[in-house]
A and B are shown apart, each in its own frame.
Chain A
Amino acid sequence: MSKKATIEEAIAQVPNGATVMVGGFGSPGTPFSLLDELLRQGQTGLTLVKNDANEQGLGISRLIEAGQVDKLITTHIGLNKKIVEMMNDGSLQVSFFPQGILAEKIRTAGSGSFGFLTDIGLHSEITKPNDLIEWQGRKVKVESALYADVALIHAHQADLFGNLQYRATAMNFCPLMAMAADVVIAETPNLVTPGTIVPETVHTPSAFVTSVVKVDTSGNEYSLMEGRYEP
């Protein structure tokens, strides 16, 4: 029943051209170690789905800067000038969604459905006439579910079966992505024996998870970053 894997064998499950969801809102929840291994193995032609682009030289930004990524599906990249530049010069294709709509597209896939109806942004430039339908007497927008081949997740604690627990605002997109991808790889600094995590407090049940990898989070990427305190 153990899903424990080495980081090399876990990331070898990512093929070239895969759509890969990456947990995290800014740094919290970003699986930095899994991303470093993906950089090392060098898969290309990737489509990444993440709330943001991390910051230059960190997380998914490194994969994008290395040319491994063709397309980014995201909500906001304002904290990463390098990625804004790559979007503007055409070397990276970027698709933006309102943050809660991106979350709901992923959640919808994670619950095995194909789309949902919303009124967000109906009158804005993000909505094209073709997106609209008439439903129960009102105009609504159709948003399709967003599935992925792989999800890379950071969990505060995981057991060998793949039950996951997140910490504070490091939860963000992680539990949604863990349900929407075919192969789900979770990294954690705290890999525990089954039964350690109180069942009522499991955030992502093990059935969604393919592989768990124990990682060392003593490095800078996981630590407090300077310049992020009250100015």
Chain B
Amino acid sequence: MSLDRILTRAAQEIHDGQTVNLGIGLPTMLVNHLPPERDVMIHSENGILGSGAKATHETANPSLIDAGGTYITSRPGAAFFDSAVSFAMIRRSKLDLSVMGAFEVDQEGNLANWKIPGKFSPGIGGAMELAQKTRNILILCTHEDKHGNSKILKKCTLPLTAEKCVTRIITDMAVMDVTPDGLLLREIADGLTIEQVVQATDADLILGEEIGSF
């Protein structure tokens, strides 16, 4: 299952001691892929620092959800706060990492994930502030859209969430880093060849000396 592959690989990006925001959708599913001993503070913009695993019917509290509306638990050392404090934390760059989805991301690190004109415009939510102000932005998405078009582009075409903000991209096919020289191919998924990944990618990929697999 390709989403599982993305999540399993992405879990390695979250390190002890970090403060991390998980975006709605695929990123919030990461909490259940983290080993229980991983000592991180998960931030959710609706007002919690220190989310635990998703809640079960037995552990759920109607007043405790993540930004996607799913019931969650809190870990020891958690704090609750209002929305102004929550976004002060974001705009003051107190988060080490934001994990977000994408409609398009390009080789300069530009990100489009909030609007498809004429088709999808549900609002900005917290995406713009997270993308602009978090030190590291990790993008999780499928490599191609459902029509087989690459989401990893030379240049984004949709309205941008933020400019030059993305640091790393993990898809079902590859792990790529945005560098000053361009998009560096770090790893490819087991069972694929470098040529297949290059073929499926609109962006120009720089091939590192060592390309690992995951």
- Interface of A toward B, CB cutoff 8 Å: 25-29, 51, 74-79, 84, 94, 96-104, 106-107, 118-121, 123-126, 156, 167-176, 222-225, 228-230
A84-B122, A173-B82 known; A228+B71 contact, CB < 8 A: yes
Tell me if B122 and A76 are in contact (CB < 8 A).
yes
Tell me if B65 and A171 are in contact (CB < 8 A).
no
Tell me if B123 and A74 are in contact (CB < 8 A).
yes
Residue numbers in B under 8 Å from A78 (CB-CB): 122-123, 125
Tell me if A121 and B81 are in contact (CB < 8 A).
no
A168-B80, A229-B71 known; A100+B46 contact, CB < 8 A: no
| B61 in contact (CB, < 8 A) | yes
A74-B123, A121-B128, A169-B46 known; A99+B83 contact, CB < 8 A: yes
Residue numbers in B under 8 Å from A230 (CB-CB): 32, 53-56, 70
Contact with A along B145-187 (1 / 0, CB 8 A): 0000000000000011111000000000000000000000000
Checking A100, A121, A174, A224 against B86 with a beta-carbon cut-off of 8 angstroms, the contacting residue is A100
A103 to B82, CA, bound (A): 9
Within 8 A of A (CB), among B62-103: 62-65, 67, 69-71, 74, 80-84, 86-88, 90-91
Q: Max chain A CB contacts within 10 Å: which of B65, B71, B84, B88?
A: B84
| B124 in contact (CB, < 8 A) | yes
- Interface of B toward A, CB cutoff 8 Å: 32, 44-48, 53-57, 60-65, 67, 69-71, 74, 80-84, 86-88, 90-91, 122-129, 132-133, 159-163
Q: Max chain B CB contacts within 10 Å: which of A99, A107, A171, A176?
A: A99
Consensus secondary structure, chain A interface? loop
A169-B44, A169-B46, A176-B82 known; A228+B87 contact, CB < 8 A: no
A28-B65, A78-B122, A168-B61 known; A103+B129 contact, CB < 8 A: no
Residue numbers in B under 8 Å from A229 (CB-CB): 54-57, 60, 70-71
Checking B53, B82, B159, B163 against A172 with a beta-carbon cut-off of 8 angstroms, the contacting residue is B82
Tell me if A100 and B63 are in contact (CB < 8 A).
no
In addition to A98-B128, A104-B84, 7 A-B residue pairs with Cβ atoms within 8 Å of each other are: A28-B63, A100-B88, A118-B91, A121-B132, A170-B63, A172-B82, A229-B57
Residue numbers in B under 8 Å from A228 (CB-CB): 60, 65, 69-71
24 inter-chain pairs at a CB distance below 8 angstroms, sorted by A residue, are A28-B63, A75-B126, A76-B125, A77-B122, A84-B122, A99-B45, A99-B125, A99-B126, A100-B45, A100-B90, A103-B83, A120-B132, A120-B133, A123-B163, A124-B160, A124-B162, A125-B159, A126-B124, A156-B63, A168-B63, A170-B63, A171-B47, A172-B46, A173-B83
Tell me if B48 and A168 are in contact (CB < 8 A).
yes
A64 to B147, CA, bound (A): 36
